[in-house]
Amino acid sequence: MTDANVAAVVIMAAGQGVRMKSARAKVLHEVAGRSMIAHAIKAANALAPDRLVVVVGHQREQVRKHLDQIAPHALVAVQEQQLGTGDAVRSGLAALPDVSGEVVVTSGDVPLLEGETLRRLVADHRQAGSAVTVLTAIVPDATGYGRIIREDGEVAAIVEHRDADQAQREIGEINSGIYVFDSELLRDGLAALTSVNTQGELYLTDVIAFARQRGLRVGAHVLADYLQVEGVNNRIELAARNAELNRRILRGWMFEGVTVVDPDTTWIHAGVDLAADVTLKPGTSLEGATSVAAGAVIGPDTTLIDVEVAESAEVVRTHAVLAVIGAGASVGPFSYLRPGTQVGEGAKIGAFVEAKNAQVGPGAKVPHLTYCGDAVIGEGANIGAGTIFANYDGVVKSVTHVGANTFVGSDSVLVAPLNIADGSYVAAGSVITRDVGAGELAVARGQQRNITGWVDRRRAGTATQKSANDVAQTRDNTDGEDQE
């Protein structure tokens, strides 16, 4: 057993979350890009528990499905009726009939709780030789929290807010709802619970009184950073926890050498990875598993979701999802990179370009006003403004290959499947439907005709006709002068 290892962690996640007013289970709402239950499991894993139990109830199937994805090792216990915290933990313990040792009880809706805090709680519990240790905090406003009642410095009881008298409500030290229990005490204490209180529920806090009655020590680990144990009960609190965790994430990255020009408008998910000397400009949102290498500049007004950005790349006013941006590449402004896009080293994706499943080779350029779907563009190629890669015929999506150092003229349409070989040209305004060989110029457009007198016949009396006649008159006068 390691220093941190405990027999079990029980996470309470059965609450209905009525005040969230949501079809989604409360613990599935996200903070910094992760569900609240995912944050709780991450903190619990710091204790290396032999077994992890998540107690579900309301909207349980949603939670089960999510747990299958993020924590398939977790045991799921069901609280059939909402009969209080004591009943929730009793349901969790039913999944651990043979548990022996320390059981940590925590909550699925405290997303700022850190694994290190749980480690210190357990260490304090062991050092003091307590039967129960409560994680407490002193908060500015204790309304709604259970109050810690002390006698001679030790925890004598926990009184819920609704059951507290006025003097007890003046107490600022609160119960976080997070504990370490000796498993035998917890099992016996839960069996002895009654619902004689204003809520008619089984309070887990009554196990504290049970322990005291048997002369066992009840300890308290006071957490200075009280925001770690702030829960989420409504959308206002959800936004507040998001903002606070984002502030902490940004602060951590700035300490690691990342420049954040405007922290108030920059958002970074918990799963993002940044290197030193990255610069994030205002309005940047880095989400999912995005990673940004040293020297890259992101923003302003850019959202990257599961995107890999290499060294010294610049990404400006861009929305990108599941894309790879190479070293020294330039993307934006107003670019949209869809899944499967790979921008090579030193390549450029410019203004109002949409790329999907496109491989843009090193040094290649797609500078502006282009749809680039299902394309493989060779090194050094240049795609002119307004080019369309026509990749979909209504049934099948096909690929266009553009060779190295090839030049595609503006306002061209490349109809896939198509192979334009290395070192070739496509004339501006062409619709290319057949392969182009190396060194060839492809021209696919109608021959130009200039129809004399058309304006006089079809646009008589217009300003256009007047301008044309003025030109003709000037030319006639010039011709007459030349004759003289």
- Give catalytic residue positions: 368
d(CA 18, CA 211): 33
| SS3 state at 65 | helix
β-pairing, 359-360 with 375-377? parallel
Query: Which of 69, 273, 53 lies closest to 183 in space, CA to CA?
Result: 53
Beta strands in 374-450 (DSSP E): 375-377, 382-383, 388-390, 400-402, 407-408, 413-415, 418-420, 425-426, 431-432, 441-442
The structure tokens listed for 462 are 């217009």
Instruction: Please answer whether residues 250 and 263 qualify as being in contact, where contact means their C-beta atoms are separated by less than 8 angstroms.
Output: yes
Residue 84 C-beta-side C-alpha neighbours within 13 Å? 18
d(CA 401, CA 406): 11
The region that residue 59 occupies, defined by phi over 0 for left and psi between -120 and 50 for alpha, beta otherwise, is left
d(CA 273, CA 310): 12
d(CA 300, CA 261): 10
Instruction: Please answer whether residues 400 and 375 qualify as being in contact, where contact means their C-beta atoms are separated by less than 8 angstroms.
Output: yes
Instruction: Please answer whether residues 131 and 211 qualify as being in contact, where contact means their C-beta atoms are separated by less than 8 angstroms.
Output: yes
The DSSP string of 185-203 is HHHHHHHT----STT----
β-pairing, 425-426 with 335-337? unpaired
d(CA 232, CA 110): 7
